Chains A and B, each alone.
Chain A
Amino acid sequence: MRTFLKILGVLVIGVVLGLAATWATVIRGGWGGAVSDGPWKTSLTVGSSEGGMYQRASVAVHGLLALNRSETIYYTANTDSAGEPLRADAHCPYRIDGRDLPARWWSITAYGADDYLIPNAAGRYSVTKNSVIQRNRDSFVANVSVDPSPENWIPVTKGPFSLSIRLYNPDPKVAADPAHIALPTITSSCGT
């Protein structure tokens, strides 16, 4: 009886530890990626069989049906440019400063902690190559905030969120050197 209980304990604790490790590395860990450009992270093996089991699982959880790098390169930011986790509140909007991105088409989209689009009354979720209002010489400023912003507004609700950049038909230089393509900066108005 005592041996049986020990075996049962080994199985139960082992299963719990194993699943907890999966939760920590895959589910809580986010899509992530091996390459960083400021706060933006990506991986060039998304969607391909070259990706290891951890990346395959992370993409399945956080970005199922992602295209391979020949078609689209995805960058995700869970922090601002100072390294602080992205977290919206009514008093501290974020500012995204960037230039036209090197792709046929691009977008910047906000997602909630559940990886889905964030509900908002305006029905807005992104700023894109087609919709962005540029300032001068192909530069733009987008505002990520709870309260409405006059232009290039990406609404969020209070709480943690993340941002994704999609580069459809990216310039070859992106795949060649994904860590140095001058992606937008993300700055909290409250500083960090």
Chain B
Amino acid sequence: MKNWLGWIAATLAVAVVVHVASVMFLPRAIMLRTMGGIVRGAHGANHMVFGARPTAANRGVVRPSPDLLYSSCVYNLQRGGGAVRVRASGMPRTYWSVSVFDADTNNIFVENDRKAGDHVDFLIVAPGFGQGSGLPTVESPTRAGIVLFRTLIDDDKRLPELDAARRHASCEAYRAD
């Protein structure tokens, strides 16, 4: 009997370890899969991809908003020489935001049109990275992650105009002049 209790305890211990490990690893795994999809669409890291308006046919990211245009980029600080520059100008007059997610799904930065107006320009850097550019910086605790622009379609008739304007956003390896 005592012997069986030992085996049962060992089984439960394995179950607990597997459960905790899978719960902890799941976000990173899902982010890796999502980043892989964006990189394929953009033909590489540190390039923006401009997604079409979400419909039921979209199977990239769960629970998309059908009222937003999503523009995304996988930043990779290693491939970007330690910093990635994100900028946009001439953004449309509607709600828009730019957000940065690290590889653990944390939303480490967000700014919207109320504060930024029609433009934004900042660097994503590794902690301690000295760049001296004078640009605002966002420190990423992970070497890769996702930059996501959301642009609200406040009127379906404006879709072509909004789609054209949001394509002013870019994401690229930073090169100090």
Contacts and interface: CB of A to CB of B under 8 A. Distances in A.
Interface of A: 6, 9-11, 13-15, 17-19, 21-22, 25-26, 47-49, 53-54, 56-57, 59-68, 70-71, 104-105, 107, 109, 111, 114-120, 123, 125-126, 128, 130, 164, 166, 168-169
Interface in B58-85: 58-59, 61-67
A123 B55 contact: yes
B19 interface: yes
B58 A6 contact: no
B58 A117 contact: yes
A64 B110 contact: no
A25 B14 contact: no
B23 A67 contact: no
Interface of B: 7, 10-24, 26-27, 30-31, 34, 54-59, 61-67, 95, 97, 99, 101, 104-107, 110, 112, 114, 146, 148, 152, 154-155
A13 B92 CA distance: 56
A107 B54 CA distance: 15
Contacts of B17: 14, 18
B106 A19 contact: no
Across the A-B interface, the 7 shortest Cβ-Cβ residue pairs: A14-B14, A18-B18, A47-B107, A17-B15, A60-B27, A119-B56, A115-B62
Nearest to A115: B62
22 contacts: A9-B11, A14-B18, A18-B18, A22-B18, A22-B23, A25-B23, A48-B106, A53-B24, A59-B105, A60-B30, A63-B63, A65-B34, A65-B61, A67-B107, A71-B110, A109-B66, A117-B55, A117-B58, A125-B66, A126-B65, A168-B152, A169-B112
A48 to B, nearest CB: 7
A49 B114 CA distance: 25
A53 B23 contact: yes
A47 B104 CA distance: 10
A176 to B, nearest CB: 19
The residue among B21, B99, B107 with the most chain A CB atoms within 10 A of its own CB is B107
Query: Main SS of chain B's interface residues?
Result: mixed
Given A116-B56, A117-B55, A48 B65 contact: no
The residue among B56, B97, B155 with the most chain A CB atoms within 10 A of its own CB is B56
Contact of B107 (A48, A120, A164): A48
A14 B16 CA distance: 8
A130 B155 contact: yes
Contacts of A105: 95, 152, 154
Contacts of A128: 67
Contacts of A63: 62-63
A62 B63 CA distance: 7
B63 A164 contact: yes
Nearest to A128: B67
A116 B62 contact: yes
Contact of A64 (B18, B20, B31): B31
Given A10-B11, A57-B24, 7 more contacts: A26-B26, A53-B24, A56-B105, A65-B146, A67-B97, A111-B63, A116-B56
Contacts of B21: 18
